[in-house]
């Protein structure tokens, strides 16, 4: 096996200094090494967006990036959104208030893509949401309530 | 769906990257945005034993305009091209094409040079580069050379790059002529997918409204992106009307030699080549006329 | 009837864990010592396995075990099947592979990466056989055979007449004939199927975590495959990332994990990747060729329907012809059609087999019927809405027995149609259609009025056989309700969380029965050792069945508490009522006991309670299918088996580009009647989600097997499901006709969107292209098919 790579990475505010196998996908690093299971493997080919996390603030498909690439990076996952006391993040609250989720498997990816959008565009129109989330598949909701949720989250802030 | 083992190298300079490439040659693959390569690695259709991550080479991130040319560095993101005024104003056909690549989240990571070097015969950017008469700047420890887009794409997922060469940039001439218009149109099965067929057209009209220059390129209809040279020849010096555009479409279709798949048969792709060539030309011409106004 | 919580938009209880990444899907479950499996799958559609060399794979560091099909059979048994015909299937192929993607060998290793490294080292020597791809050709005697145990690839053929078909056709004035084609699709939940099996060699016990459903319905099926005693098997449910019918049994996945766990003595997790799921999910949808005829009287009255169907079942026959049993619930739709001929041939080919996917066989049934009605409207020169209205079963005719014997409980189809026509702003869209046609553009307005049979009965898997091995099943659902000593309410479900809202629904029902806030009701999930009979989500049944089970349990506990409270308050139980969580004297609310006060007496002070009341407050209530009658001997009457029938009318607006074949949905109107609505946002969510899956079925979803039998759609870049960009603004409204057969009058709503949208969109595209002479008779309407139809009509 090739040499492991040393990576200093901050995940949800916690600094990690780790050795990773070069081929370890960011998705598996988060799930298997850090036990952060919010990002999901839906296709492992970048087609579904269920594994979306933020890398240095940018929405990123964690199945198409290697943990070895993360030296110096800051990663944000869905686990960072709610407060430890159970208070939901405004985007999470908007999703539950607008029934923007059913099985929940795509939801963490949707939430992270929505957070990235709201950072650039705090009060998005439905068309902005459609554009920003177009690469994230959902098989349950029919999307309409997801768009409503993100627009509502923007309206609230 | 997990990649095979590989060694990971993260050079900080182009020279360092080229040294790695010279050492490892065809065993190595450069990693830019990874939106195509890592997908192939996960399915083990690509199994490089060395991955040379060029994302840390800051000098490759730039998009600049110099001497009538837009230069896009190897790790400039597609999203940056989409929003760059150099690209939008200087090479609108490329900007229009890049806006149709996949989805915004993919474009934030994926690079324009990477897409060109990947040489997917269905992809938008190789075709746009071809229509825009661009070139690929290839570097190796042996030196640097430019490869015209016309000579770059040699087959499906293969290019004129040597195993030790890195595509460090695209250089695309700015379309400066007054009455120049362009269009990139495509049809895909689903928004964000690779098109069944895409057409890039760049056209310049003379003062009389006759075609002074025209370049038409297509994707999805051949083993590599192609120019529709017969269609270009038929248009040159003519005053384009509906009938001529229809004929140009038919000529473009006859240049096509598509490979069918689950999204569209060869015959259907050829049909789309005719329709979309006609439409791309019509849009490009009306834009050229607007630009005169 | 007015309710306090039933019918109200109660917040969804399931959400917080799903929103925060704590759902506990099968991929999240980790057990110490766990190994990871990868499966080597056949690239060939049809081949004999000459030999398998796994020596290099076994030698790879980190690899614990490699099993071939034959080796796996030392640990597990062949897969179960509900068919009467000899169509054996093993989780891993033994002598022959029968579809591309069939498992050939499995690996267990210390991580998934290494398991996949090992998989790449396994060498299989195949003798490639002629692939059976085209079901029509497969029916001929000279065709290569998928199974040597059968005389023909036609595994099942039956033609049934219900009513006087010959007579009705003879006296008809017009017969409208169309052929129809519905291609193979699949559920494609974003989460694939997976199982983690942990075998204890010392007790012979097996524990399996999975995202399957039938662990409290058919646990003995799993035990049989795994080769463990039924009382030594514990099946633990996980939160499920969507199923849409595709994860009821997932026998292959459970069997592979189980075989590897038994072979290694360690826990093994096998989680399908997307390729595994698309190629080998064992649960694709129908793949049908229809020849259909609808006979009309001179007055435009529908007399009789004749359906001749060839259905490509793929390589195995796990649920037998169940998808046609299902379709028998509503083949004649919402119409007064007097007789039916149903002729079905199930054909085996070298493809992944059918199972269940949202619609379960009734989906193409709705498609062909509504296409016939549209064709009839054209041929008879009667407006489509008017033709439908003229033939609807009328509100005063319920319960209504259709020719197959199934019974429809209630409905008001004209009211649904009228409301849909009202909200769809047809004046605007017709003007728009005219304006665009003048510009050479093609806008279409679709219409479909369809049934959604809800509350299934599993008898449909076998009741087309003459001598079924089993009578009609009760297909039950159970909940266990406890009120603790402090009055805390806890419900344990027998079903899993599959993406619907069982926690919310039971909490609403319990809240309703006790008058307490549903938010305070705690809900957990039983495993197979603790749960009572529960068939779980499927066939649009869960809200119906959970309402019955939860209400039954609540009433038992409430009655007991009423008796205890009455005794303590020295009153007759008849004079005590439970209001807002308080037991009080009817008419004299001053005298009362809280739930906690009653519960403490119930738990600790039985001697002070009325004679015969044992300690504690716990009840498991099993609610059986509320209305099922058996089929008769000659199958001229299949019995009532799917009698809670919802209804919907959809009106999609599309624009079609006839040159490129692109279909753009501009707007979508739907009016739905699923009886009493338990929770409006949740019902709307089901409808909208179903409509969008229907958009997929209408426009893009299809398996492609190439001429050589290999699979062309093995990833989500080839098997396309809708994205946000394909979805228009969807307007949903309701009519509520309560069911007389169920608690609160609820009917199901889980499949309705997908049962209607495909045929509604086909209607819209046909309407758009009517000036060009195109009639849509094949789904999905890919760009290529549309352009071909336009060219053919020229």
A81 touches chain C (CB under 8 A): yes
User: B173 vs chain C: nearest CA distance in angstroms?
Assistant: 32
Q: Which of B200, B203, B225, B220 is nearest to B263 (CA)?
A: B220
pLDDT value, residue C459: 85
A88 touches chain B (CB under 8 A): no
In sequence order, the β-bridge partners of residue B64 are B71
User: A43 vs chain C: nearest CA distance in angstroms?
Assistant: 5
Residue C667 CB neighbour total at 10 angstroms = 17
Determine the average pLDDT of the residues in C47-69: 98
* Residue C706 banded pLDDT, cuts 50, 70, 90: very high
Tens-digit pLDDT profile for residues C352-393: 999 999 999 999 999 999 999 999 999 999 999 999 999 999
Separation CA B159–CA B148 (nearest Å): 11
Nearest to A45 among C17, C28, C715 (CB): C715
Nearest CA in chain A to C278: A43
Separation CA B226–CA B153 (nearest Å): 9
Nearest CA in chain B to C782: B189
Asked if A135 lies within 8 A of B4 by C-beta distance, the reply is no
Interface of C with B (CB under 8 A): 112-113, 116-117, 120, 273-275, 659-660, 662, 700, 702, 704, 712-713, 715, 717-718, 720, 722-723, 725-726, 782-784, 787-788
User: A25 vs chain B: nearest CA distance in angstroms?
Assistant: 8
Tens-digit pLDDT profile for residues B184-226: 999 999 999 999 999 999 999 999 999 999 999 999 999 999 9
* Structural tokens at position C738: 């309560």
On whether the CB atoms of residues B268 and C784 are closer than 8 A, the answer is yes
Tens-digit pLDDT profile for residues C216-230: 999 999 999 999 999
Tens-digit pLDDT profile for residues C729-784: 999 999 999 999 999 999 999 999 999 999 999 999 999 999 999 999 999 999 99
Strands B7-9 and B50-53 turn out to be parallel
The ipTM (two decimal places) reads: 0.98
Taking each helix axis from N to C end, the angle separating C362-380 and C384-391, rounded to the nearest 10 degrees, works out to: 110
Nearest CA in chain B to A27: B2
Question: Which residues in chain C have their CB less than 8 angstroms from residue A43's CB?
Answer: 274, 715-716
Question: Which residues in chain A have their CB less than 8 angstroms from residue B192's CB?
Answer: 134-135
Residue B19 CB neighbour total at 10 angstroms = 17
List Cβ neighbours of C6 (8 Å cut-off, separation of 6 or more): C508, C509, C512, C676, C678, C744
| Angle ∠(C152,C157,C160) on CA atoms, nearest 5 | 165
A68 touches chain B (CB under 8 A): yes
Q: Which residues of B74-155 form beta strands (DSSP E)?
A: 135-140, 143-148, 153-155
Nearest to A46 among B3, B4, B39 (CB): B39
> Which of C114, C717, C726, C791 should one mutate to test binding to chain B, selecting the residue with the greatest count of B CBs within 10 A?
C717
Question: Which residues in chain C have their CB less than 8 angstroms from residue A146's CB?
Answer: 724
Determine the average pLDDT of the residues in B216-237: 98
pLDDT value, residue C1: 67
Query: Exposed/middle/buried for C748, CB within 10 Å: 0-12, 13-18, 19+?
Result: buried
Determine the average pLDDT of the residues in A53-69: 97
In sequence order, the β-bridge partners of residue A14 are A11
Across chain C, mean pLDDT equals 97
Separation CA C54–CA C57 (nearest Å): 5
Question: Which residues in chain B have their CB less than 8 angstroms from residue A75's CB?
Answer: none
Tens-digit pLDDT profile for residues C652-662: 999 999 999 99
Question: With 60 as the cut, is the pLDDT of residue B293 above it?
Answer: no
Tens-digit pLDDT profile for residues C295-329: 999 999 999 999 999 999 999 999 999 999 999 99
- The chains found to touch A (3+ Cβ pairs under 8 angstroms) are B, C
Question: With 70 as the cut, is the pLDDT of residue C46 above it?
Answer: yes
User: Residue with structure tokens 């938009």?
Assistant: C9
Question: With 70 as the cut, is the pLDDT of residue C581 above it?
Answer: yes
Nearest CA in chain A to C28: A37
Asked if A40 lies within 8 A of C27 by C-beta distance, the reply is yes
Asked if C689 lies within 8 A of A139 by C-beta distance, the reply is yes
Q: Which of C325, C317, C326 is nearest to C354 (CA)?
A: C317
Does the predicted model carry a pTM greater than 0.80? yes
Strands A74-76 and A5-11 turn out to be parallel
A123 touches chain C (CB under 8 A): no
Rounded to 10 degrees, the C-alpha dihedral C331/C336/C341/C343 comes to -10
Q: Is the peptide bond before C780 cis (omega within 30 degrees of 0)?
A: yes
Q: Which residues of C426-451 are buried (b: 16+ CB within 10 A; e: fewer)?
A: beebeebbeeeeeeeebbbbbbbbbb
Asked if C190 lies within 8 A of A81 by C-beta distance, the reply is no
Question: Which residues in chain B have their CB less than 8 angstroms from residue C712's CB?
Answer: 261-262
Nearest CA in chain C to A102: C499
User: Residue with structure tokens 């009255």?
Assistant: C301
On whether the CB atoms of residues A11 and A36 are closer than 8 A, the answer is yes
Nearest to C723 among B4, B190, B194 (CB): B190
What DSSP state is assigned to residue B70?
A: E
């Amino acid at each position: 096996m090739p040499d492991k790579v040393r990576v200093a990475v901050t995940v949800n505010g916690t600094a990690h200094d780790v050795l990773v196998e070069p081929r370890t996908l960011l998705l598996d690093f988060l799930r298997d090494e850090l036990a952060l299971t919010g990002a999901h493997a839906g296709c492992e080919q970048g087609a579904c967006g269920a594994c979306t996390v933020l890398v240095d603030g940018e929405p990123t498909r964690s199945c198409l990036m290697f943990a070895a690439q993360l030296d110096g990076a800051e990663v944000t996952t869905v686990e960072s959104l709610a407060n430890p006391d159970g208070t939901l993040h405004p985007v999470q609250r908007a999703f539950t208030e607008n029934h923007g989720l059913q099985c929940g498997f795509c939801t963490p990816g949707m939430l992270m893509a929505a957070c990235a959008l709201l950072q650039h565009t705090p009060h998005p129109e439905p068309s902005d949401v459609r554009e920003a989330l177009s690469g994230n598949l959902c098989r349950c909701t029919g999307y309409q309530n997801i768009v409503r949720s993100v627009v509502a989250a923007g309206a609230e802030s | 769906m997990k990649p095979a083992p590989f060694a990971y190298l993260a050079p900080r300079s182009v020279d360092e990257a080229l040294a790695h490439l010279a050492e490892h040659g065809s065993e190595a693959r450069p990693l830019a945005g990874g939106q195509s390569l890592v997908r192939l690695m996960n399915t083990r259709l690509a199994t490089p034993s060395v991955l040379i991550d060029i994302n840390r080479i800051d000098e490759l991130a730039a998009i600049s305009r110099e001497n009538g040319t837009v230069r896009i560095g190897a790790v400039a993101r597609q999203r940056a091209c989409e929003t760059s005024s150099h690209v939008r104003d200087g090479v609108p056909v490329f900007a229009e094409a890049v806006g149709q690549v996949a989805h915004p989240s993919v474009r934030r990571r994926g690079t324009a040079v990477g897409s060109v070097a990947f040489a997917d015969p269905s992809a938008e950017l190789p075709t746009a580069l071809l229509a825009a008469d661009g070139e690929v700047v290839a570097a190796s420890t042996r030196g640097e050379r430019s490869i015209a887009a016309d000579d770059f794409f040699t087959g499906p997922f293969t290019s004129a790059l040597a195993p030790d060469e890195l595509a460090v940039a695209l250089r695309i001439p700015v379309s400066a002529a007054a009455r120049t218009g362009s269009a990139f149109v495509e049809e895909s099965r689903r928004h964000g997918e690779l098109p069944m067929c895409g057409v890039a057209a760049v056209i310049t009209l003379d003062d009389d409204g006759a075609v002074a220059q025209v370049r038409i390129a297509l994707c999805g209809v051949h083993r590599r992106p192609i120019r529709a040279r017969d269609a270009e020849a038929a248009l040159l010096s003519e005053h384009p009307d509906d009938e001529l555009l229809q004929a140009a479409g038919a000529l473009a279709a006859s240049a096509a030699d598509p490979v069918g798949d689950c999204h569209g048969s060869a015959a259907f792709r050829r049909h789309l080549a005719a329709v979309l060539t006609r439409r791309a030309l019509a849009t490009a011409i009306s834009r050229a006329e607007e630009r005169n106004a | 009837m007015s309710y306090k919580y039933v019918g109200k938009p109660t917040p969804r209880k399931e959400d917080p864990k799903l929103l925060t990444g704590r759902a506990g899907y099968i991929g999240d479950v980790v057990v110490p010592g766990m190994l990871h499996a990868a499966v080597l799958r056949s690239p060939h559609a049809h081949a004999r396995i000459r030999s398998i060399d796994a020596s290099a794979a076994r030698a790879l560091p980190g690899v614990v075990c490699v099993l071939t099909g034959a080796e796996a059979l030392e640990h597990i048994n062949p897969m179960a099947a509900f068919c009467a015909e000899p169509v054996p299937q093993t989780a891993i192929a033994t002598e022959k592979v029968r579809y591309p993607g069939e498992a050939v060998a499995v690996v267990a290793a210390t991580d998934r990466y290494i398991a996949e490294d090992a998989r790449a080292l396994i060498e299989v020597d195949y003798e490639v056989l002629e692939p059976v791809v085209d079901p029509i050709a497969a029916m001929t005697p000279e065709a290569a055979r998928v199974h040597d145990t059968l005389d023909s690839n036609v595994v099942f053929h039956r033609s049934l007449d219900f009513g006087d078909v010959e007579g009705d056709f003879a006296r008809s004035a017009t017969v409208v004939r169309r052929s129809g084609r519905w291609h193979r699709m699949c559920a494609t939940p974003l989460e694939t199927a997976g199982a983690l099996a942990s075998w204890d060699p010392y007790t012979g016990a097996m524990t399996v975590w999975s995202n399957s459903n039938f662990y409290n319905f058919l646990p003995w099926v799993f035990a049989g495959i795994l080769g463990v005693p039924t009382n030594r098997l514990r099946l633990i449910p996980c939160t499920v990332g969507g199923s849409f019918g595709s994860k009821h049994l997932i026998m292959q996945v459970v069997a592979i994990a189980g075989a590897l766990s038994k072979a290694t003595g360690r826990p093994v997790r096998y989680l399908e990747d997307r390729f595994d799921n698309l190629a080998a999910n064992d649960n694709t949808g129908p793949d049908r060729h229809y020849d259909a005829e609808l006979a009309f009287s001179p007055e435009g009255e529908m007399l009789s329907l004749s359906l001749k169907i060839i259905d490509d079942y793929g390589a195995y026959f796990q649920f037998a012809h169940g998808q046609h049993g299902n379709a028998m619930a509503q083949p004649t739709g919402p119409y007064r059609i007097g007789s039916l001929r149903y002729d079905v041939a199930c054909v085996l080919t070298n493809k992944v087999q059918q199972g269940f996917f949202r619609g379960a066989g009734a989906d193409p049934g709705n498609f062909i019927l509504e296409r016939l009605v549209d064709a009839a409207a054209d041929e008879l020169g009667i407006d489509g809405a008017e033709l439908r209205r003229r033939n609807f079963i009328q509100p005063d005719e319920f319960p209504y027995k259709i020719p197959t014997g199934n019974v429809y409980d209630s409905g008001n189809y004209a009211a649904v149609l009228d409301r849909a026509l009202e909200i769809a702003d047809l004046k605007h869209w017709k003007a728009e259609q005219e304006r665009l046609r003048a510009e050479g553009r093609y806008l279409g307005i679709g219409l479909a009025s369809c049934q959604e049979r809800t509350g299934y009965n599993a008898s449909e898997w076998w009741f087309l056989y003459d001598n079924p091995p089993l009578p009609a099943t009760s297909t039950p659902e159970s909940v266990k309700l406890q009120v603790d000593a402090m009055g805390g309410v806890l419900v344990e479900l027998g079903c899993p969380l599959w993406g619907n809202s069982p926690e919310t629904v039971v909490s609403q029902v319990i809240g309703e029965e006790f008058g307490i806030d549903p938010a305070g009701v705690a809900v957990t999930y039983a495993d197979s050792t603790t749960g009572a009979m529960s068939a779980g989500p499927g066939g649009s049944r869960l809200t119906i069945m959970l309402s019955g089970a939860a209400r039954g349990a609540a009433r038992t506990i409430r009655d007991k508490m009423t008796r205890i409270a009455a005794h303590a308050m020295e009153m007759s139980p008849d004079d005590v009522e439970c209001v807002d969580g308080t037991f009080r004297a009817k008419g004299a609310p001053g005298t009362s006991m809280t739930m906690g006060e009653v519960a403490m007496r119930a738990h600790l002070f039985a001697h002070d309670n009325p004679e015969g009341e044992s300690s504690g407050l716990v009840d498991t209530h099993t609610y059986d299918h509320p209305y099922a009658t058996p089929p008769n001997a000659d199958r001229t009457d299949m019995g009532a088996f799917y009698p809670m029938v919802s209804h919907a009318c959809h009106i999609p607006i599309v624009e079609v580009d006839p040159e490129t074949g692109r279909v753009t949905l501009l707007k979508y109107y739907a009016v739905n009647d699923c009886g009493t609505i338990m929770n409006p946002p949740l019902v709307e969510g089901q409808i909208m989600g179903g409509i969008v899956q229907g958009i997929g079925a209408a426009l893009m979803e299809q398996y492609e097997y190439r001429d050589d039998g290999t699979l062309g759609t093995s990833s989500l870049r080839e098997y396309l499901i809708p994205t946000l960009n394909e979805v228009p603004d969807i307007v949903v409204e309701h009519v509520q006709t309560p069911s007389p057969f169920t608690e609160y009058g609820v009917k199901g709503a889980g499949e309705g969107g997908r049962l209607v949208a495909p045929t509604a969109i086909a209607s819209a595209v046909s309407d758009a292209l009517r000036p060009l002479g195109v009639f849509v008779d094949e789904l999905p309407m890919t760009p290529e098919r549309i352009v071909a139809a336009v060219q053919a009509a020229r």
